[in-house]
Amino acid sequence: MGRMEKMEGRNEINFGNATILALGKAFPHQLVMQEFLVDGYFKNTNCDDPELKQRLTRLCKTTTVKTRYVVMSEEILKKYPELAVEGLPTVKQRLDICNAAVTEMAIEASQSCIKKWGRPISDITHVVYVSSSEARLPGGDLYLAKGLGLSPETKRVMLYFAGCSGGVAGLRVAKDIAENNPGSRVLLATSETTIIGFKPPSVDRPYDLVGVALFGDGAGAMIIGSNPIRDIERPLFELHTAIQHFLPDTEKIIDGRLTEEGISFKLERELPQIIEDNIEDFCDKLISISGINDREYNKLFWAVHPGGPAILNRLEKKLDLSPEKLSASRRALADYGNASSNTIVYVLEYMLEEKKDITDWGLILAFGPGITFEGILTKNLITV
């Protein structure tokens, strides 16, 4: 019997370790069906290049995304037609839209989360705010706190431009705060919109079409705290151990730059291969404190940020996971697309729906710019 199995049993909380106490999410009103995306995108950007249109059509099928929510709308393009024109300086207009949109979604997701949590909003002591879709001073953390009516004494932390690993990075930071401030309750909020990087199709930027076919908008929220109050708080997961690792000399693999035309992203083709080559060592390091055999991955549950189907497929193959182990990640990708830092919240919510399939212990994982790996060894506290 491995050491992990000898540790406290299922649903028994290790007091002192941080726990996820509630989850919440929010989305913009615009729902995009993947089957209609290509025609709408080319119409809105006044492009009629048949080769690019065919390429995007293929990408929309391979991403496995079915639906997504987006802030972008015909009304926004009518007000800001320059967003669909190549080469115009539009960063001010984009930030005006994004700053307001991410705040609104973050407030809505946080309110949903706090309602599920069941304690007064005045009991929140800290805020961790994550976004790669805004830039301003003061930052979105302050506007979130103000919008929720939090106390001016609430301690705030911002994580900007962490990309797809931002949600798990924020969870790691919230865990540290909760465990080092007895009695604290941390609100983690993530909020993203693709308007910051929306561009018309171009033969000079074929990689942009991957983002058009894959990324979505939305917000997520969690409440994190140690020593949950019996009969009031209902802990979902215990956050046992968190680690971060970056791969040297891979900083250009996920490349994003803020320009006068908004953010330009470039994802290199070798990203899934790099993750496959390094994921096993990372996971082994994370669970090494447990005593579980390195090859017993199917005894764990897997909450993996769905960066794309290629990443999930390679991870599944490399670790020889049963297909159902990544079902929550694949459902989140199909329903919401890759919503950057938010997506891990949607994955965890789907895991709660599939709770009969959750084993006692598991990993929360995400991969972002750096290339950065984020991982948290997690204990299931859900009563089946």
**Whose CA is closest to 266, among 246, 252, 276?**
252
* 8 A C-beta contact, residue 25 and residue 219: yes
What 3-state DSSP class applies to 192?
strand
User: Hey, is 219 helix, strand or coil?
Assistant: strand
The pair of structure tokens assigned to 88 is 């115009």
Distance of alpha carbon 159 from alpha carbon 156, whole angstroms: 10
- Provide the b/e sequence for 60-92 (b: ≥16 CB within 10 Å): beebbbeebbbbbeeebeeebeebbeeeeebbe
Say if strands 186-192 and 218-226 run parallel, antiparallel, or are unpaired. Answer: antiparallel
Tell me the C-alpha distance between 376 and 238, whole Å.
10
Which member of 60, 98, 164, 283 is catalytic? 164
Catalytic residue list contains 164: yes
| DSSP at 291 | T
Q: Look up residue 262 and give its two tokens.
A: 């908004």
Structure tokens at 134: 């805004």
Q: ω into residue 138 within 30 of 0, thus cis?
A: yes
Catalytic residues: 164
